[in-house]
Structure 1
Amino acid sequence: MTDTFTHKCPNCGGPLLFDPKDQKFHCEYCLSVYTEAEVTAYEASQRDAHLEKNTDQTYESDLTFTADSQVDEMTVEEKSAFKEASGTDTMDEDTLEGAMELFDCPSCGAQIVTEATTAATYCYYCHNPVVLSGRLSGKFLPEKVLPFAIEKEEAVEKFLAWAKKKWFIPKDFFNKEQIDKMTGVYFPYWVVDAQIDGQMSGLGTTIRIWRIGDIEYTETKQFDVQRQGKISFKELIKNALSKNVQQKMVEAVQPFLLDKAVSFKSQYLAGFQAEKRDIEYEAIQQSIQNELKEYSESILRDTASGYTTLTKLRTDISLDNEKNHYMLLPIWVVTYRSNDQSKKVYYYAMNGQTGKVSGILPISYKRLGLFTFGIFATILAIFLIGGWFI
């Protein structure tokens, strides 16, 4: 059973939101500001008081609702909105039902529609942040979270500054309503540290050519090349969410400043969306090990420089130590659906700490055509005027 809750202000009971600018928790109602330690202490005291009052009951928040009995009651518009928001546009009704779950909002009681991997979201009615704690507990409890360092206003500014450097972008791309859809999401990742013991041997050949008078000399030398060493890999980041089809785009916003990660507390999710992992480490472990070995072989080869050729290479790579950590990393995401006949959807990601942006911008072929025609008309005018004076 998944508990749903909202982090409440100790002063007025309003919802708390995490502010990336000062790394503290703000109440928009009474304007109180709290540190993570203050929020944690307050919630611990609330739980203790509740347990003392109800010693014969197990403390729980709100009850979970299964989607199967509720989905049919959704309107066409609600289903369409869910599909667009969750990237499940191509799902049929039966598959869609299996992808959705419904919960009660702990603040207003309205039903919240989520995907199976959603761990934090907003209530569409009262707009209060909601955390689905059962999805971030037990084996799904992240070890660390890297808090957002860029707030939404700054993220929008950085995104627009990046986009405006490009030419021929459709005007509706910069529509305020479009940009306001930018959403902060904590995505799940496996972070891997490893120690490699590597050896390499090969035949190195050097060739030197010189000329004295009419005679050309060639000197060939061959060497037995041996390399051996220990290689350390730190913070290799791998996706832990199968629906993240735009993973290459997300990888392009690396690196993340993982030294600023903190022990996981659900308070950091307040005001953002979050996903839980659905890819276990065992499923990708072999590919990660192969990748580490390829990196190691490349590093050993690079140390054997200065030879004209390097042949008969033999390598022995062994993995001495391998550790993985489950973390939530901050990414601002925004989508754009073109107004042309294709209705193509473009995805963009921004590193929630550094502001680095990734994504392919759309092109307005109408604007490109007008620009090209303008250049052609200008060149033609210059040619005609020049010919007239001649």
Structure 2
Amino acid sequence: MGSMPGFEPETPAFRGKVLDTSANKTNGLNRCPSCGSTEISPVYGTYDLVCGHCRQSWTGTSLEVEQGLGEGIHALKGRVTASGAARITDTSTLVTLKCGGCGAEVVINTATGHQRRCHWCRQTLSLDAQVPNGAVPDGILPFYVSWEQAVGHVKQFLAKRSYFASDDFKRNFIPHNVVGVYLPYLVVDGNIRARLDGHGEILKKTYKKLFDDKTVYYDANAYRVYREFDLVVDDLIVESSSHRAAIDPLVNTNNVVNAILPFDVKNMVAFESNFIGEFTSEKRDLDIEHALERVQGKFMTLARQKVVEHIGHYNRGVRWDAEQLVVHGTRWVSVYLPVWLYSHYERQPDGKWMLHYIAVNGRNGQTMGSVPFQKSKLLGLALVIGGSTGAAALLLLVVALLVAATG
């Protein structure tokens, strides 16, 4: 069994660089460049915004191009943090803005949105510049999949599982409850060096001994193996919401959101609250320090995968006994990613509630979810199969009985 990977600790000097993505942005009235109206909304399926008054449209700014996020990863030294991913220093969800139209003070609850109408002059106030509570990301990836398409994906997903789905779930399925939400994530680039040490074997021959045709003998040469190499990681995506990062299969199935990755984050645009439109959003509440261990673990996973193509001649396999990861540099950017969600509460036999989710990637339609099933049907299938397939069906039967017993 391999030892735990070694990670080189970060020093304060390592964490000193900031990439300002909120330059020239202000909070308050975000006006149409043509007529000055604040009635601005997204054009779904595009990167455009349109004025509701004069119908002038314009395209959002590519964050990748504007900030050079696709460049220089191999030369990263230390930690570069975009301003939207900076440490959260204020846990309050309320932000007060002064209306530039009439001077009134308007409070925005950042836990539920980034815009609010002034109660006096009815102009829309927007939160576009970063604030200390982590509510404003660096970028946003607009929805491409429409609501109608998302409902179709959910129905198709359910159709393949309808036989085993619980009657309560099928009876209470309401397509209108498929809702769009922007979820907060961190996008990480990494310049790393990895080393793996272990043992590999090359099979030379197999044979059986005379008078013993039941035992197969293997002759193999054993070698000490190590691989050390540089690796560039581009656009690794990790959760920045504590609710989404905390996976508890006894309470909910929010881990299905990870199953609809990846997203084409290279196409994200610089954040403007107008892109959110009528969708809801969740506020980032995790700092980089909270995600660091998970990111380093993912870096190591990528390193293991990368080395596979270089050890194919060890046809008996390689066992890694020690792993080491040196992170020369990282770059962190916060982003809102689009997800369509459908949720359903299931009451368990013990009285507790399980929250099931079906998630649709708002960019490409990739769908995954959890459906409460009718245990009696699963048990019946196991009994039917059991009459003809022996041990495999017996295993299925045992699983079905355990599930039925535990709820």
Which TM-score applies when normalising by structure 1?
0.61
* Superposed counterparts of 1:206-217, under 5 Å: 206-209=202-205
Deviation string for 1:337-366 (max 9, x for gaps)?
Answer: 358986643222211101112221133579
Once the 2 structures are TM-superposed, how far is the Cα of residue 286 of structure 1 from its aligned partner? 3.0
Once the 2 structures are TM-superposed, how far is the Cα of residue 165 of structure 1 from its aligned partner? 2.3
CA contact (8 A) 1:119 1:131 kept: no
Deviation string for 1:238-269 (max 9, x for gaps)?
Answer: 11111235541211111101122112222211
Secondary structure of 1:328's counterpart equals strand
CA contact (8 A) 1:159 1:357 kept: yes
Alignment correspondent of 2:364: 354
User: CA, structure 1 residues 305+137, in 2 after alignment: closer, same or farther (shift >3 Å)?
Assistant: same
User: CA, structure 1 residues 7+273, in 2 after alignment: closer, same or farther (shift >3 Å)?
Assistant: farther
Q: Take 1:314 and 1:176, find their aligned partners in 2: how far apart are those partners? A: 52
Alignment counterpart, residue 280 of structure 1, candidates 287, 291, 296: 287
Alignment counterpart, residue 145 of structure 1, candidates 140, 149, 162: 140
1:32 and 2:55 equivalent?
A: yes
CA contact (8 A) 1:4 1:133 kept: yes
Q: Take 1:172 and 1:34, find their aligned partners in 2: how far apart are those partners? A: 46
Q: Take 2:235 and 2:296, find their aligned partners in 1: how far apart are those partners? A: 14
Higher mean C-alpha displacement, 298-307 vs 252-261: 298-307
Once the 2 structures are TM-superposed, how far is the Cα of residue 23 of structure 1 from its aligned partner? 4.0
User: CA, structure 1 residues 129+186, in 2 after alignment: closer, same or farther (shift >3 Å)?
Assistant: farther
Deviation string for 1:130-161 (max 9, x for gaps)?
Answer: 77617844684422211111122222222222
Alignment correspondent of 2:41: 17
CA contact (8 A) 1:193 1:322 kept: yes
Deviation string for 1:4-40 (max 9, x for gaps)?
Answer: 7787797796843323234434567x793622469xx
Alignment correspondent of 1:270: 277
Once the 2 structures are TM-superposed, how far is the Cα of residue 294 of structure 1 from its aligned partner? 4.4
Alignment correspondent of 1:291: 298
User: CA, structure 1 residues 206+281, in 2 after alignment: closer, same or farther (shift >3 Å)?
Assistant: same
Alignment correspondent of 2:399: none
CA contact (8 A) 2:47 2:269 kept: no
Consecutive unaligned residues in structure 1, runs of 5 or more:
39-97, 376-390
Q: Take 1:175 and 1:121, find their aligned partners in 2: how far apart are those partners? A: 37
Secondary structure of 1:208's counterpart equals strand
Percent sequence identity is 18
1:221 and 2:221 equivalent?
A: yes
Secondary structure of 2:340's counterpart equals strand
User: CA, structure 1 residues 311+12, in 2 after alignment: closer, same or farther (shift >3 Å)?
Assistant: closer
Bigger relative contact order, structure 1 or 2 (CA pairs below 8 A, ≥6 apart): 2
Greater percentage in helix: 1
User: CA, structure 1 residues 103+294, in 2 after alignment: closer, same or farther (shift >3 Å)?
Assistant: same
CA contact (8 A) 1:190 1:239 kept: yes
Secondary structure of 1:252's counterpart equals helix
- RMSD (Å), alpha carbons: 4.7
Asked which structure has the greater CA Rg, the reply is: 1
Q: Take 1:171 and 1:26, find their aligned partners in 2: how far apart are those partners? A: 44
Alignment counterpart, residue 133 of structure 1, candidates 115, 127, 145: 127
CA contact (8 A) 1:117 1:277 kept: no
* Superposed counterparts of 1:82-231, under 5 Å: 114=109, 117-120=111-114, 133=127, 136-137=130-131, 140=134, 141-168=136-163, 169=165, 173=169, 178-209=174-205, 220-231=220-231
Q: Take 1:283 and 1:188, find their aligned partners in 2: how far apart are those partners? A: 14
CA contact (8 A) 1:18 1:271 kept: no
1:335 and 2:358 equivalent?
A: no
Once the 2 structures are TM-superposed, how far is the Cα of residue 225 of structure 1 from its aligned partner? 3.1
Alignment counterpart, residue 325 of structure 1, candidates 333, 339, 346: 333
User: CA, structure 1 residues 197+33, in 2 after alignment: closer, same or farther (shift >3 Å)?
Assistant: same
Once the 2 structures are TM-superposed, how far is the Cα of residue 100 of structure 1 from its aligned partner? 7.9
CA contact (8 A) 2:35 2:54 kept: no
CA contact (8 A) 1:121 1:273 kept: no
- The code of the aligned residue for 2:261 comes to Q
Q: Take 1:359 and 1:139, find their aligned partners in 2: how far apart are those partners? A: 31
Q: Take 1:6 and 1:334, find their aligned partners in 2: how far apart are those partners? A: 32
Once the 2 structures are TM-superposed, how far is the Cα of residue 288 of structure 1 from its aligned partner? 1.9
Alignment correspondent of 1:242: 242
CA contact (8 A) 1:188 1:329 kept: yes
Which TM-score applies when normalising by structure 2?
0.58
Alignment correspondent of 1:259: 266
Q: Take 1:278 and 1:178, find their aligned partners in 2: how far apart are those partners? A: 31
CA contact (8 A) 1:103 1:112 kept: yes
CA contact (8 A) 1:188 1:328 kept: yes
Q: Take 1:320 and 1:100, find their aligned partners in 2: how far apart are those partners? A: 35
Consecutive unaligned residues in structure 2, runs of 5 or more:
1-25, 62-90, 247-252, 385-407
CA contact (8 A) 2:41 2:277 kept: yes
Q: Take 1:179 and 1:220, find their aligned partners in 2: how far apart are those partners? A: 59
Secondary structure of 1:236's counterpart equals strand
